[in-house]
């Protein structure tokens, strides 16, 4: 296949990637070509794809602003930076946090007080009008949502955050565009070149043949994975909502288009990309079309291209799948994503908390420890999506998933949760919606030293101690509750996830200054977890969290022993106090309180937590 090759840009400052003049680069370039060949074949790569990718990289290198080049050099000189502890991320919808990008800039002091090192605003590029799945239906990747600001606002925000040592991480909705995107519009107008950007099936039989294996993401509100479109004269692949058209990555031009978008945004100052819906990038008939080898290869190819043009920029895989399918996103043949959501451990923590039993967390954590070196988990308690129990099916029997789903989603007499059940495919445990405040029971018992607050602190304390970057979901640092009014807004009523996407409550945030209040207690705890996690490196704590058993089933215990000093965490997932005999090594200090722990016995309060650092 031959591809149209874009006119070559000015070559100043671009070395020839194909020679050995720069050995590291030429190795990376060959890695990139090998990945592309594995997906598209050597002929396609030689027939124009390779050259088009080279030109895109060279153009981005030439256009890279000096401060970003400095950042690239700084990160390249310190290849272990990615796995350094305590790189707290704060995630939020721009409009719900601060109305606009300028509003976010005005909240820098709040973010600095919390100690965050990365900001992940949820999608902010120009969405389709009306319902856009919270911005996950992008109509223009090179424009900011006009309701939030414009591209200069984005660059300015990125630059001012950078001065404060905070990186900006942006969603790249790479699996699909909005039906209103220019590519889709051209396809609908009959342009065959753009029709090939999407996947269109001719008739209901073809749809049925594919759908036999596919698992619906929104079975209740968007059943099926295809949408009839009269203008396309066929069924368009739409994994999510009918207005989100899956891109056809079997067409190499789509890969290049998305690469050019990544490079363009990186040069606006974006320091990382969350690759939304990464498992869905490649479709293969007869499979469920998730986590196909080509999806991993495409991610590795993007990584290699960024390594050549914008090496300081990180990639985060959003793959809410079973761990075995998530791990390859870190890279199979070479480096892939630098980070991936640790959704297995997150979901297991909620399950373990419901049962007061650490078994499920231990099993999943042991598997998560297999991530490669120089990568990091994004560890979290809640995010903007539902809690997907089925992602744990390889680690827990269906009755456990059903029990946890019922515990958090339906309440019931013995549950502390006020979460709500969301949809799931027939026969599978429904996933769960709700802010951490609702799921831990804070609505019922908002006392700062009560059990619900202890549960929320416990979960956040655990995710800050794990290897990787801890994520704070907007409002959890204050105990912000659900948005029960979402159902009155016609644009949001149809999607239960809006329950846990409330507006920031700045009055509540002000109360963090009043000692002894719930917001003050949680905010202080969250900031302290981040600060302590950042100290772990200088204390000599490294390496993945390796769980181990203790005599108490309620206690989650793990060790990070990859450095000169060992961090041992004990977390009581139950409400009953526990004593572990003879478990403390002499000379240990609880890093959270900076007090030495006499030992050798350790008593943990209900939902109690210690981070013991060896002498
Ligand atoms: C990801 C997002 C989710 C969105 C979906 C489709 O899973 O996190 O919010 O609905 O992708 O873009």
Which residues face 520 on adjacent strands? Answer: none
**How many CB atoms are closer than 10 A to CB 264?**
17
- 92, 96, 215, 276: which to mutate for ligand 1, most atoms within 8 A of CB? 276
324 to each of 233, 330, 346, how far by Cα in Å? 38, 11, 15
Q: How far is residue 254 CA from its own chain's centroid? A: 23
Under DSSP, the state recorded for 90 is E
Q: Within 371-517, where are the H helices?
A: 398-409, 436-440, 451-465, 506-510
Q: Distance from first CA to last CA of the chain, Å, rounded?
A: 62
CA angle in degrees (0–180, nearest 5) for 418-419-422: 150
150 to each of 125, 179, 611, how far by Cα in Å? 9, 22, 44
445 is catalytic: no
Decide: helix, strand or coil at residue 341: strand
255 to each of 237, 318, 325, 391, how far by Cα in Å? 17, 18, 22, 28
Distance separating alpha carbons of residues 153 and 580, to the nearest angstrom: 54
For ligand 1, atom 4, the nearest C-alpha belongs to 136
Place of tokens 């040069």: 267
For ligand 1, atom 10, the nearest C-alpha belongs to 133
Under DSSP, the state recorded for 456 is H
Distance separating alpha carbons of residues 68 and 70, to the nearest angstrom: 5
Strand 138-144, strand 125-127: pairing? antiparallel
229 is catalytic: no
Under DSSP, the state recorded for 241 is S
Q: Where are the beta strands (DSSP E) in 122-232?
A: 125-127, 138-144, 167-172, 176-178, 200-201, 226-229
Atom number, ligand 1, closest to the C-alpha of residue 240 = 6
Place of tokens 């799948």: 321
Q: Please identify which of the residues 276, 300, 476, 482 carries the catalytic annotation.
A: 276
Q: Which residues line ligand 1 (CB under 6 A)?
A: 133-134, 136, 173, 240, 276-277, 318, 384-385
Under DSSP, the state recorded for 279 is G
Atom number, ligand 1, closest to the C-alpha of residue 241 = 6
Distance separating alpha carbons of residues 432 and 595, to the nearest angstrom: 38
**Cα of 132 to ligand 1 centre, how many Å?**
11
Q: How far is residue 186 CA from its own chain's centroid? A: 32
**Cα of 343 to ligand 1 centre, how many Å?**
14
- 132, 274, 277: which to mutate for ligand 1, most atoms within 8 A of CB? 277
Q: Please identify which of the residues 318, 481, 495, 590 carries the catalytic annotation.
A: 318
**Cα of 134 to ligand 1 centre, how many Å?**
8
**Cα of 222 to ligand 1 centre, how many Å?**
13
Sequence length of the chain is: 615
Place of tokens 């720069």: 22
**Cα of 414 to ligand 1 centre, how many Å?**
32
**Cα of 320 to ligand 1 centre, how many Å?**
10
Quote the mean pLDDT of the chain.
Answer: 95
For ligand 1, atom 11, the nearest C-alpha belongs to 277
Please give the pLDDT value at position 138.
Answer: 98
Quick one: tokens of 480?
């912000």
Place of tokens 């190499």: 252
Q: How far is residue 136 CA from its own chain's centroid? A: 14
**Cα of 531 to ligand 1 centre, how many Å?**
31
**How many CB atoms are closer than 10 A to CB 450?**
14
Please give the pLDDT value at position 229.
Answer: 98
283 to each of 207, 248, 371, how far by Cα in Å? 13, 9, 25
Contact, 53 vs 36, CB < 8 A? yes
**Cα of 252 to ligand 1 centre, how many Å?**
24
For ligand 1, atom 12, the nearest C-alpha belongs to 136
Which one, of 404, 372, 378, lies nearest residue 391 by Cα?
404
Place of tokens 């490649």: 282
404 to each of 48, 347, 360, 380, 394, how far by Cα in Å? 52, 10, 12, 18, 15
**Cα of 63 to ligand 1 centre, how many Å?**
31
For ligand 1, atom 3, the nearest C-alpha belongs to 385
Distance separating alpha carbons of residues 568 and 157, to the nearest angstrom: 38
Distance separating alpha carbons of residues 449 and 455, to the nearest angstrom: 10
Distance separating alpha carbons of residues 569 and 579, to the nearest angstrom: 14
- 92, 169, 220, 385: which to mutate for ligand 1, most atoms within 8 A of CB? 385
Please give the pLDDT value at position 18.
Answer: 54
Distance separating alpha carbons of residues 601 and 70, to the nearest angstrom: 50
Residue partners of 531: CB distance under 8 A and separation at least 6: 86, 115
Q: Within 322-386, where are the H helices?
A: 323-326, 343-355, 359-368
**Cα of 240 to ligand 1 centre, how many Å?**
8
Mean pLDDT by 10 residues, the chain (615 residues): 42 47 81 98 98 97 97 95 96 98 97 98 98 98 98 98 97 98 98 98 97 92 96 98 98 98 98 98 97 98 98 98 97 95 98 98 98 95 97 97 95 90 88 98 96 98 98 98 97 96 98 98 98 93 96 98 93 98 94 94 98 94
Atom number, ligand 1, closest to the C-alpha of residue 176 = 12
Q: Angle, nearest 10°, between helix axes 359-368 and 343-355? A: 170
Atom number, ligand 1, closest to the C-alpha of residue 497 = 9
- 125, 133, 181: which to mutate for ligand 1, most atoms within 8 A of CB? 133
For ligand 1, atom 2, the nearest C-alpha belongs to 276
Per-residue model confidence as pLDDT tens digits over 509-529 = 999 999 999 999 999 999 999
Distance separating alpha carbons of residues 474 and 437, to the nearest angstrom: 12
Contact, 151 vs 264, CB < 8 A? no
Under DSSP, the state recorded for 122 is P
Residue partners of 386: CB distance under 8 A and separation at least 6: 422, 431, 432, 433, 496, 497
Quick one: tokens of 328?
């390859």
- 91, 96, 136: which to mutate for ligand 1, most atoms within 8 A of CB? 136
Residue partners of 450: CB distance under 8 A and separation at least 6: none
pTM of full prediction above 0.85: yes
**How many CB atoms are closer than 10 A to CB 162?**
17
Atom number, ligand 1, closest to the C-alpha of residue 137 = 12
């Amino acid at each position: 296949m031959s591809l149209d090759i874009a006119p070559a840009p000015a070559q100043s400052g671009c070395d020839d990637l194909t020679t050995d003049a720069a050995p590291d680069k030429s190795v990376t370039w060959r890695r990139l070509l090998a990945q592309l060949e594995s997906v598209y074949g050597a002929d396609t790569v030689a027939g124009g794809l390779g050259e088009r990718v080279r030109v895109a990289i060279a153009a981005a290198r030439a256009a890279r602003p000096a401060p970003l080049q400095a950042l690239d050099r700084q990160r390249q000189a310190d290849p272990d930076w990615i796995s350094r502890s305590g790189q707290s991320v704060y995630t939020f919808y721009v409009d719900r946090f601060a109305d606009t990008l300028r509003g976010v800039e005005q909240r820098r002091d709040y973010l600095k007080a919390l100690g965050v090192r990365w900001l992940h605003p949820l999608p902010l590029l120009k969405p389709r009008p009306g319902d856009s799945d919270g911005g996950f239906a992008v109509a223009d990747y090179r424009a900011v949502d006009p309701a939030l600001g414009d591209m200069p606002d984005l660059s300015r925000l990125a630059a001012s955050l950078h001065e404060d040592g905070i990186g900006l991480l942006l969603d790249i909705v790479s699996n699909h565009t909005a039906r209103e995107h220019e590519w889709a519009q051209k396809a609908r107008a009959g342009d065959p070149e753009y029709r090939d950007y999407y996947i269109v099936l001719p008739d209901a039989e073809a749809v049925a043949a594919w759908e036999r294996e596919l698992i619906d993401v929104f079975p209740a509100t968007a059943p099926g994975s295809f949408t009839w479109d009269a203008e396309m004269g066929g069924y368009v692949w739409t994994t999510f909502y009918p207005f989100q058209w899956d891109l056809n990555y079997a067409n190499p031009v789509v890969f290049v288009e998305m690469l050019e978008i990544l490079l363009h945004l990186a040069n606006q100052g974006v320091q990382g990309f969350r690759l939304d819906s990464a498992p869905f990038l490649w479709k293969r008939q007869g499979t469920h079309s998730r986590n196909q080898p080509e999806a991993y290869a495409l991610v590795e190819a993007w990584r290699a291209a960024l390594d050549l043009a914008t090496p300081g920029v990180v990639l985060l895989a959003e793959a809410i799948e079973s761990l075995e399918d998530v791990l390859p996103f870190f890279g199979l043949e070479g480096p892939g994503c630098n980070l991936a959501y640790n959704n297995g451990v997150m979901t297991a923590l909620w399950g373990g908390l419901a049962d007061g039993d650490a078994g499920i967390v231990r099993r999943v954590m042991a598997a998560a420890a297999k991530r490669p070196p120089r990568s990091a988990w994004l560890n979290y308690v809640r995010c903007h999506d539902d809690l997907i129990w089925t992602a744990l099916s390889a680690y827990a029997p269906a009755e456990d998933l059903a029990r946890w789903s019922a515990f958090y989603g339906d309440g019931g007499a013995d549950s502390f949760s006020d979460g709500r059940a969301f949809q799931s495919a027939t026969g599978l445990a429904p996933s769960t919606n709700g802010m951490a405040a609702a799921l831990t029971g804070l609505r019922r018992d908002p006392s700062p030293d009560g059990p619900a607050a202890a549960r929320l602190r416990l979960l956040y304390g655990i995710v800050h101690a794990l290897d990787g970057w801890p994520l704070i979901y907007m409002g959890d640092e204050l105990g912000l509750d659900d948005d029960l009014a979402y159902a009155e807004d016609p644009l949001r009523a149809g999607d239960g996830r809006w329950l846990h996407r409330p507006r920031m409550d700045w009055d509540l945030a002000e109360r963090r200054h009043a000692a002894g209040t719930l917001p003050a207690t949680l905010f202080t705890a969250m900031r302290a977890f981040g600060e302590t996690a950042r100290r772990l490196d200088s204390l000599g704590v490294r390496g993945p969290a390796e769980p181990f058993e203790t005599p108490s089933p309620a206690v989650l215990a793990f060790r990070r022993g990859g450095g000169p000093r060992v961090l041992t965490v004990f977390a009581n997932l139950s409400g009953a106090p526990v004593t572990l005999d003879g478990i403390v090594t002499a000379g240990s200090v609880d890093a959270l309180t900076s007090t030495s722990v006499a030992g050798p016995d350790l008593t943990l309060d209900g939902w109690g937590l210690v981070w013991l650092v060896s002498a």
